[in-house]
Amino acid sequence: MPLQYVPVSEGKDKKPPLISGSNAFLGDVIHSQAEPGKELSSGFYRQEKGEPLVYTYTYDEMKIIIEGNFRMEDETGVVVEAKPGDVFFFPKGTTITFSSTDYGLAFFTGLRAAGGA
C-alpha cells in the first residue's frame, strides 16, 4: 500500500473548519483505510482567544502542540498551560476544556473514523 502525503498548503497552513462558537476549528487531514473500530484519523485543531471549547472524547486521541498556547483543564481539575512541543493523551471518556490567551494550533491523531469528532 503506498504512503499518503498531504502538502503543507492542505495541512498546517490551511485553517480547519469551524466546529464550535466562533473560535474553535478542527479538520481531519488524513485517515487510515482500516476496518471499523481500528481507523485512525489525524489533522489540525486550532483554538483562538475567546469562548472555551468543552469536549468529551468518545475515542482515544493524542495531540502535540505546534504553535501558540493552550490552557487545558480536565474534569478532575487538572490544568496544564500547554506550549509548542508538549504532547498529550486523552483517553476515551475524558472531558477537557480548551482555551487560549491568543491562539493555539495542535496536530492530533485519534482512534476514530474520518469526520467522527
Domain ranges within the chain, ordered by starting residue: 8-110
What is the model's pTM?
0.90
Rounded to whole angstroms, the Cα distance separating 50 from 59 reads 26
Grid coordinates in use for 53?
A: 471549547
Query: Is 65 in contact with 72 (CB distance < 8 Å)?
Result: no
- Residue 65's CB is within 10 A of a number of other CB atoms, namely 21
* pLDDT computed for residue 4 by the predictor: 80
Rounded to whole angstroms, the Cα distance separating 20 from 36 reads 27
Q: Which among 95, 91, 83, 25 has a CA at the least distance from the CA of 56? A: 95
Q: Which among 65, 40, 70, 69 has a CA at the least distance from the CA of 55? A: 70
Round the average pLDDT of the chain to a whole number and report it: 93
Among the four given CATH numbers 3.30.710.10, 1.10.10.10, 2.60.120.10, 3.90.470.10, the one describing domain 8-110: 2.60.120.10
Terminal alpha carbon distance of the chain: 26
CA angle 26, 31, 36 (to 5 degrees): 110
* pLDDT tens readout for residues 63-98: 999 999 999 999 999 999 999 999 999 999 999 999
